Amino acid sequence: MAAVDEKGCNMVRATTPPLEDSLPVERHGRMYGVSILPIISPVPISADSSVSREVLRMTLTEASASWRMLTEVRFKLLALLPTISALALFAIVSPAGALADANTPVRVAAAGFGFFITLGIWIYDRRNDELYNELISRARRAEFELGIDTGVFRGRPKPRAIRKGNIQVHVRLVPLAKRLKLIKSPKDPISVINHGIAVQIIYGSVLAAWVLAGVSAAFGWVP
């Protein structure tokens, strides 16, 4: 419930979200952390609590719709990029096809073009990833303020960590792991069952393929 001042106006939800470390055992492995940024402004907006709840519902609905849209964009990119790149790479390194009569500079230029296009799409996806995470944060906060305990966003299962027997394997290359978003702190276990590392593998493979095609064309390794 939202806090109500002496004039009967709605204020920010007074209850603060619980710390994940203080959650009971049955909630471990799920994400209950909530942003400290409120949805409802601390400035009184209405004497009717139904207005606040409607704002929260609209926020949750819009965040969910935008989240689904970004997810759809990502899946389309991940489906089309490797497919189109594979066809273009085959044309560069193959003696037959669209670039059968092309000379070395043209093949190298084509490989460079493909590399920078892929790099640009990767940068675009990284920005979408930031917006994607922010939408989840806002939706989780809206669910919290609506009083939802475990919903679509709040209480989602955490990515599974690599385990060796019953011992969590901790990363040694902490800076690299943090850069790849495998961990948030040195004490975290390595998590590979997540979207981030899968996307990095796909984009990394395509970028490496473009580099290899360009080097092959430059040094005459193309048959």
Judge contact between 142 and 34, C-beta under 8 A. no
What is the gyration radius of the CA atoms in the chain, in angstroms? 24
92-125 pLDDT per residue, tens: 888 776 777 778 888 889 999 999 999 999 999 9
Q: How far is CA 48 from CA 52, 61, 97, 115, 145, in A?
A: 8, 21, 69, 56, 16
**Amino acid identity, position 197:** I
pTM: 0.68
SS3 content of the chain, % helix, strand, coil (to 5): 55, 10, 35
Residue 7 is predicted with a pLDDT of 39
34-78 pLDDT per residue, tens: 777 777 655 444 445 777 888 889 999 999 999 999 999 999 999
Which two three-digit tokens encode residue 123? 């940068």
